[in-house]
Amino acid sequence: MFSKDLEVTIGHCYKQAREQRHEFMTVEHLLLALTENQSALGALRACGVDLPRLSSELERIILETVPVLPQGDERDTQPTLGFQRVLQRAVYHVQSSGRKEVTGANVLVAIFGEKDSHAVYFMHQQEITRLDVVNYISHGIAKIGDDAATSSPSTEREGEESGEPKGNPLHEFASNLNELALEGKIDPLIGRADEIERTIQVLCRRRKNNPLYVGEAGVGKTALAEGLAKRIVDGEVPEVLESATIWSLDLGALVAGTKYRGDFEKRLKAVIGQLKKQPGAILFIDEIHTIIGAGSASGGTMDASNLIKPMLASGELRCIGSTTFQEYRGVFEKDRALARRFQKIDVVEPTVADSLEILKGLRSRFEEHHHVSYTNEALKAAVDLSVKHIPDRLLPDKAIDVIDEAGARQRLLPEDQRTGKVDVTEVEYIVAKMARIPAKQVSASDRDVLRNLERNLKMVVFGQDPAIEALAASIKMARSGLADPSKPIGCFLLAGPTGVGKTEVTKQLAMQLGIEMIRFDMSEYMEGHSVSRLVGAPPGYVGFDQGGLLTEAVVKHPHAVLLLDEIEKAHPDVFNILLQVLDRGVLTDTNGREANFKNVVVVMTTNAGAALASRRSMGFVEQKHDSDAMEVIRRTFTPEFRNRLDAIIQFGALDFEHILRVVDKFLIELESQLTEKHVSLDVDSDARRWLADHGFDPQMGARPMARVIQEKVKRALADELLFGKLTDGGLVRLSVRDGELQVDCETIEPAEVTEPAA
């Protein structure tokens, strides 16, 4: 209950009374001890008490009035009823105010309840009242001015509990950007000449001289205010602003600890009062939309914005604000009375060339911090690669983050591995980590994957060479920089019968590129309302703030292969949603957030027209039905949808040679599984042909192959691997007898180990 300082003070009071053999411990003993208590001492000084005079008067009255125990008397010093009442009164007041500790200042207030005591009489002689002490404890109001009260740990704690500053409120709740610039803690501002010129013009107005920076996160709004402060310090501003000082308001510190009604307003008024006293003071409020509603009581309208409105309009207070477009529209613009007092200055994303100049201007700061050097090529790569692979953030922020993290990585390496230089390779590695993609996707020098992409796909997908060639050509064109950068890497419609490799080629493409494959089964989107699952529910519906499945997936994996399986089964409204994806590479969800598809390969599969393409010909001449199948596709998909596709690729039916290669692929997978069990697999040519005959259906494609191998081979091997001849390894032979597949298992005896001759 009692604070540690107060316990020490009471113990010291008792010790002094006992050493002087006083029969009683009085209120005067307590007040004399409080003159050495830090919490009470701060309050006494703030009230203008003459401490030496008070101490001498208390010592004199104690000596004159308190009886002394005779020598040999074993009685102990006892507290008087007044002494006990003071402590009880202090405890009661602290508990009723919701605090946890009783401090010396609380006891000092409680002493004033003993009106007939000499202690209160001596304080009244110095014109100190209970109200003076309470005003200081609760509101920080010093009777003789702020400078008279010296701060201490206990008085600071009292001030924090009451929500009031004890020193200059500007130093408590704001940062002097001019001082930070003098100390070299602010980076220089590169470029932005137009915005700075407009800012200076607005600040020099007679009324409504308040600039408001509006721009997306990361474009440099805060850097503009800091850069202006640095230019003021360096003398690079017109004469009218040479004596200006920019103070950055910390709204969080201003609100923190304001438990009682009026505390926040008092703090803000104190800050504004100090700003008025300083000629040339300019207040900078970052994220200015937060002042709307800050500090207001529930249901009240008097918040921070309403407190500063009168001074903003008259020109008494010059204020620079910054906010985003979204917050400006959603929060700031609704308060038209506040918005009209500011002059809006749009801060747009700098160009690639401007961002490169910004990095060159900041290079020395990062080199000094990380003890490395940055090559010009690394700075250019940081800008170019961040634009390409980090689309959800803006320049120059993302490029600065790249070089900063590259320097940090170099600094964290073991000393013998540090090169002291950040080059393009380091930047590529960092961008790959930040964008969550394989490093080979970022590297401009690693072309092996692209060079062999077509060959590698043909090794795992058989009989569909035209489709693979079209896909590989599109990927290469996008990586070479010849494709339209505003569209997805490629948009393909793969048409053909089931089981011929449409989905498989998409899986293998994602695997070869080392990126994610996002798959949506469009049979789940046959209803019109299912569109909301892709882009999110509209406002007012359950889950509207959670985003859509498609947009969230692409935001999480901006480099991916997007597979829309069986697209013809989707509702027509889904096609309308996909039009902007295929055309502009962007899809906006219901929260207004854009999902960027510019690094996505969009692949759609369809079975439309497959029945016509596989139809048998009449008569003796083999007829091609591809044109008939294409006609079905034209009827199924609208012209505006087909017009946005890079290619419609027809997958043909597999012939017997391709089926044999599919058999080999499945057998290789089985062989790799058996190798882990120390089992070898031997398949003769008859068994291979038997699997090709029974695992292929012209209507079903190669899909039945997996079922045949599972039923005829894997089911027979399961028991042998668990309980039979293959528990410790062995040999499996596949052959054909009497037209049926035969699975023979053999146990391989371990080789006998001969003892070496002695």
Segment 615-639 shows an average pLDDT of 63
Per-residue confidence band for 156, with pLDDT thresholds at 50, 70 and 90: very low
Instruction: Give pLDDT tens digits for 226-265.
Output: 888 988 888 888 888 888 899 998 888 877 777 777 777 8
Interatomic CA distance for residues 359 and 366, integer angstroms? 10
H or E stretch at 722? helix 715-723
**Is the model's pLDDT at 739 over the cut of 50?**
yes
Residue with tokens 């080789």: 751
CATH assignment, 656-747? 1.10.8.60
State which H helix or E strand residue 86 sits in.
Answer: helix 81-96
Predicted confidence (pLDDT) at residue 441 exceeds the cutoff of 50: yes
Q: Are 509 and 461 in contact (CB under 8 A)?
A: no
Q: What is the pLDDT of residues 686-721, one digit of tens each?
A: 888 888 888 777 666 667 777 888 888 888 888 888
The 10 Å CB-count burial string (b at 16+, else e) for 687-713 is bbebbbebbbeeeebbeebeebbeebb
Mean pLDDT rounded to a whole number for the chain: 81
Nearest alpha-carbon partner for 661 in 511, 468, 513, 458: 458
Which two tokens mark 545? Answer: 């703030």
HSE (CB half, 13 Å, CA atoms) of 301?
2
Q: What is the mean pLDDT of residues 458-462?
A: 81
Residue 395 to residue 356: CA distance in whole angstroms: 10
| CATH code of the region 169-346 | 3.40.50.300
Residue 698 is predicted with a pLDDT of 65
Whether 161 has a pLDDT exceeding 50, the answer reads no
pLDDT at residue 383 in the model: 92
Cross-strand partners of 343: 211
Q: Is the dihedral of CA 326, 328, 332, 335 positive or negative?
A: negative
Task: Report the relative pairing of strands 281-285 and 318-323 from DSSP bridges.
Answer: parallel
The pLDDT tens digits for 307-342 are: 777 787 777 888 898 988 888 887 777 778 878 888
The pLDDT tens digits of the residues spanning 465-488 come to 887 888 888 778 777 777 777 788
One fold for both 169-346 and 352-435? no
Torsion angle of C-alpha atoms 84, 90, 95, 98, degrees rounded to 10: -170
Count CA within 13 A, CB hemisphere, residue 336.
0
Percent of the chain with pLDDT over 70: 88
Domain boundaries, the chain: 4-139, 169-346, 352-435, 444-650, 656-747
Give the CATH number of domain 352-435. Answer: 1.10.8.60
**How many angstroms separate the Cα of 329 from the Cα of each of 3, 213, 289, 394?**
50, 13, 10, 20
In sequence order, the β-bridge partners of residue 379 are none
Q: What is the pTM of this model?
A: 0.59
- pLDDT for residue 273 is more than 60: yes
What's residue 617's pLDDT? 45
Tell which wins on pLDDT, 384 or 617. Answer: 384
Give the model's confidence band at 533: pLDDT under 50 very low, under 70 low, under 90 confident, else very high. Answer: confident
Q: Is the pLDDT of residue 121 over 70?
A: yes
Q: Which amino acid is at 467?
A: A
What would the mean pLDDT of 276-295 be, rounded to a whole number?
80
pLDDT at 612 over 60: no
Separation in Å, CA 726 to CA 106, 676, 711, 713: 86, 12, 18, 14
Q: So what's the pLDDT on residue 356?
A: 92
What would the mean pLDDT of 663-687 be, rounded to a whole number?
83
What would the DSSP string read from start to end of 312-360?
Answer: HHHTSSEEEEEE-HHHIIIIITT-HHHHTTSEEEE-PPPPHHHHHHHHH
Average pLDDT score over residue span 612-631: 53
* Token pair in block for residue 185: 């803690």
- The CATH architecture one would assign to domain 4-139 is Orthogonal Bundle (1.10)
Q: What is the rounded average pLDDT of the residues 580-604?
A: 85
Question: Which residues of 161-288 form beta strands (DSSP E)?
Answer: 174-176, 211-214, 245-249, 281-285
Element (H, E) at 680: strand 679-683
Homologous superfamily assigned to 444-650: P-loop containing nucleotide triphosphate hydrolases (3.40.50.300)
Amino acid 314: pLDDT: 78
H/E run at residue 25 = strand 24-25
Q: pLDDT grade, residue 379 (50/70/90)?
A: very high
| Residue 146 in this model has a pLDDT that exceeds 50 | no
Identify whether the C-beta of residue 493 lies closer than 8 Å to the C-beta of residue 649.
Answer: yes
Instruction: Look up residue 247 and give its DSSP letter.
Output: E
Region 584-595: what's the mean pLDDT?
82
pLDDT at 403 (0 to 100): 92
How much of the chain exceeds pLDDT 90, in percent?
A: 5
Q: Give the mean model confidence (pLDDT) for residues 726-745.
A: 83
Q: Rounded to 10 degrees, what is the CA torsion of 75, 77, 81, 87?
A: -140
Is a pLDDT exceeding 60 seen at residue 623?
no
- Tokens, residue 77: 């010093």
Contacting residues for 391 by C-beta, under 8 A, at least 6 apart:
558, 596, 598, 599
Please give the pLDDT value at position 404. Answer: 93
pLDDT band, very low/low/confident/very high, at 400 (cuts 50, 70, 90): very high
